[in-house]
Amino acid sequence: MAVQQRKNYCNGEWIESDSEETFSVTNPADGSVVAQFPKATGADAERAIQAAVGAQDAWAETPGPERGAVLRRAAGLLEDRAEDVAKTLTLEEGKTLAEATGEVQRAVDILYYYAEKASDLAGDAKASSDQNSRLRTVMEPVGVVGLITPWNYPIAIPTWKVVPALAAGNTVVLKPASQAPTVAHELADCLDEAGLPDGVLNVVTGSGSEVGSTITSHEAVDAISFTGSSAVGELVRESAAETGARIQLEMGGKNPAVVMPSADIDEAVDIVGAGAFGVTGQACTATSRAIVHESIYDEFVERLADYANDIEIGPGLEAEMGPQVSASELESTLDYIEIGKEEGATLEAGGDVPTVDGDGHYVEPTVFSDVESEMRIAREEIFGPVVAVIPVSDFKEAVVIANDSQYGLAASVITENLSEANRFIDKVEAGVVKINEKTTGLELHVPFGGTKRSSSETWREQGDAGLDFYTTTKTVYLNY
């Protein structure tokens, strides 16, 4: 595959960076170069922001059905290219082709979903206490929004931020993650071909210190949506506080799956295994802790280890689990595996670098048993295919352990006991709660977000809630 030469997208044109410098995006399976991108400067980000400012009024005044028509055309274009875009996603990020195909389809579905929503953003009529007046609300765009997105879902997350922002009448400056920006450019290309006016969407690639900080600290940026690590998210929060920008932060997780005695063991293993090792464990909603009742603990650990050992590892175009996205991510995962050993946890499966052809960033799916809640592998986000299995004596203890975390993103309980299921819903501290399902996987039409250090706990993403962040409400009193 030829190396793609990419440019920034600004004011409706694909342009070079002022720096004239580039960086390479490499295939984590073998180190080959997939694409080259501009290493943008603060001046490039400034230009993109000014383009968004210039386009804002006209796009806000564009009727909702017309905005929706652009999104609908873009959905069709992306759908036509889905196979090629999915392959590119696998080559630059590493996940399997099946996972990449599902992610691209999610982007298509989001475009179609908000294309219809754009026609219905008028506000509500309310009853007035005066018979000679009318009372209603009007929904209006926030203005210019800055979006900073991660590499692990490199088209789904940009899409579920960009598209509701556009549907609501905002203009956008997007900085995709440098490890996997190519498919975000494919999204921009589809929107451009669909007739999106110049300046409404701008995409700038480069470092967080140059591009990201310019976006988050700029007085003209009215709202900032960020997905990434909690550490960087806190910096974004501080920067936005100085300008008064509205913020939406979705950050880390240490997601538990509680397994109770009534659960079918085979089903429980499949749920936990898929949640822990899918997308190579590189998901903020990945199952990182399995909290298992002591009466089934040994059997569960044995079967989960077998599940991990049976996973075929290799390039995403061929295998069941692909590489980690970069050498640094692999190194971090291997460091945590060593920490788990040093802390006294028992390594039941994996824990090593497998033998795979090519110079890829591979690690074996890893299972630790005899884990205590105080251990670092049970408390810190690993972002790799590592799961810590913690024994508990009863349901009450399981919920206490599940909540013993600085994070609160997703949580699951696997049980056939209706009382336990409902008590878990009531007691667990998480923004997403699942019963007999893996912690990963989201529907596009319902709210997504976390609690504690997993989120700013301001506005949720996706569905109708995804539009709330990008709109303000004006209340109109009409006395006739």
Could you give the residue numbers annotated as active site? 250
Q: CA-to-CA distance for 141 and 164, rounded, in angstroms?
A: 10
For residue 435, the SS3 value is strand
Q: What is the DSSP string of 376-422?
A: GGGTS---SSEEEEEEESSHHHHHHHHH-SSEESEEEEE-S-HHHHH
Beta bridge partners of 23: 37
Coil, strand, or helix at residue 93? helix
In contact, 149 and 177? CB cutoff 8 Å: yes
Contact indicator for 354, 313 with CB cutoff of 8 Å:
yes
Rg (CA), the chain: 23
Beta strands in 194-341 (DSSP E): 201-203, 223-227, 246-250, 255-259, 287-293
With a CB cutoff of 8 Å and minimum separation 6, the contacts of 240 are 216, 224, 246, 247
- Tokens 């400067």 correspond to what residue? 41
CA distances from 147 to 12, 176, 390, 468, 480 (A): 18, 8, 37, 16, 43
What is the bridge-based pairing of β-strands 33-38 and 144-148?
Answer: unpaired
User: Would you say 179 and 282 are in contact if contact means Cβ atoms under 8 Å apart?
Assistant: no
Identify the helix (H) or strand (E) that includes residue 307. Answer: helix 297-309
Q: Which residues contact 70 (CB under 8 A, 6 or more apart)?
A: 166, 191, 194, 195, 196
Look up residue 456 and give its two tokens: 């700013």
Contacts of 464 (CB under 8 A, 6+ apart): 117, 445, 447
Q: What are phi and psi of 38, to 5 degrees?
A: -65, 135
